[in-house]
Every structure is written in C-alpha cells, then in structure tokens.
Amino acid sequence: MKEIIRQTLEEARVELEQFIANPETALSIEQAAVLCAEAMKAGNKILSCGNGGSLCDATHFAEELTGRYRNSRIPLPAISINDPAYMTCVGNDFSFDEIFSRYVEGVGKKGDVLLAITTSGNSGNIVKAVEQARQIGMKIIVLTSVGADRIKQLSDVAVCAPKAAHSDRIQEIHIKVIHLLIQLIETQMNFS
C-alpha cells in the first residue's frame, strides 16, 4: 500500500509541475479571473456546470463565491447547475445532452459567464451548454485538458490541465485552478 501511495502522490506532483511549467497556465488563469470579476462588477453572474466530479467542482466554485472562501465578504453572484429534480426532468423529457444548455438558455443573460468543466473536452452536454452560452452572448471559461480542441475553440478562455491517463489527475489540477480563481476574483473585487 505504501508504494501505491508514493506512486500516486508522485504522479500528482509530476502533473502539477507540468501544469506550472506551461507558459499559458498563469495567463489563462489570470484572464479567467478578470473575466469573472468584470462580469460581476457589471452586475452579471457566473453559471457553472460539469459532470460527476466536475459537477462537484462546479458546485464548490459557486458555493465559495456565494458563501465565503478565506475571509468574510459580501456574497458574489454564482449558480451551479446542479438541481437533481431539474436535471432528471430535462434528461427525461428532452435528453441528457440538454440538462445544462436549457438552464443556460433560461437563466443566462448576455454578459454573464459560464464556467464549463470537462476533463475530456468532449462531453456532449457541456459542449451544448457552451454553444448555448455563445448564442446568448455570455463569456465562456472552460476547465479541461490539453488536446480538448473542440471545447477550447468555443471558449473565451481555456485553462488546460496536462493530458493524463486518468481523469482524477486532471480534476486535481482543476480544483487548484478553482481555488486560484476565487482568490483572484476576490482580489479583483477588492475583497482581499
């Protein structure tokens, strides 16, 4: 068991070092944070979505903004698309591919931001949400992985984790990015 622990931690360290070494990493994270802060300063909100663990990350992002991160401050306008009754309604009545796009269509407004999280970049329901957000005039940030070109082309800012054999390595990078985004948004909003 100790070997599994050591090997897993070593894999995570290597992935993080690759991510840090990529010259696009810091720039894309900064651009994403500025995009979010500017939208909120203009009276807009952030919607977030993802599947499975990525939905948990999308929810964590929204609750840290509406609740608190490290310090108390006013709540910031962020909503994760995670209502199970809504998602099963749309999945049953329409299709699983529409669970996020219909919400974006109903709640999203021009000037809002969509944070879409997909480790592969190929999740059909995430792609449809991004396409819907683009039609509305929302700004789009995606957290994905290197090589996810389809979703990157639809976004305003793409933060790409290194490609990994398993999605958990990518998700570990994504949660670090989410925490950085919150910290930078608070800085941009003059809360830190």
Tell me 88's DSSP state. Answer: H
Q: What is the mean pLDDT of residues 160-184?
A: 95
Phi-psi region of 22 (alpha: psi -120 to 50; beta: other; left: phi over 0): beta
Q: What is the mean pLDDT of residues 44-59?
A: 97
Asked if residues 80 and 87 have their Cβ atoms less than 8 Å apart, the reply is no
The reported pLDDT for the residue numbered 95 is 96
The reported pLDDT for the residue numbered 191 is 82
In tens, the pLDDT along 99-129 reads 999 999 999 999 999 999 999 999 999 999 9
Q: What is the mean pLDDT of residues 4-12?
A: 93
Radius of gyration (Cα) for the chain, nearest Å? Answer: 16
The reported pLDDT for the residue numbered 154 is 94
Other beta carbons within 10 Å of 53: 17
Please give the share of the chain, as a percent, with pLDDT higher than 70.
99
Give the strands of the sheet with 113-117, arranged side by side: 78-80, 46-50, 113-117, 139-145, 157-161
Residue 44, SS3? coil
In the predicted model, is pLDDT for residue 192 greater than 70?
no
- pLDDT grade, residue 56 (50/70/90)? very high
Q: What is the mean pLDDT of residues 45-55?
A: 97
Residue 117, SS3? strand
In tens, the pLDDT along 9-34 reads 999 999 999 999 999 999 999 999 99
Query: What is the value of pTM for the model shown?
Result: 0.96
Please give the share of the chain, as a percent, with pLDDT higher than 90.
92
The reported pLDDT for the residue numbered 190 is 86
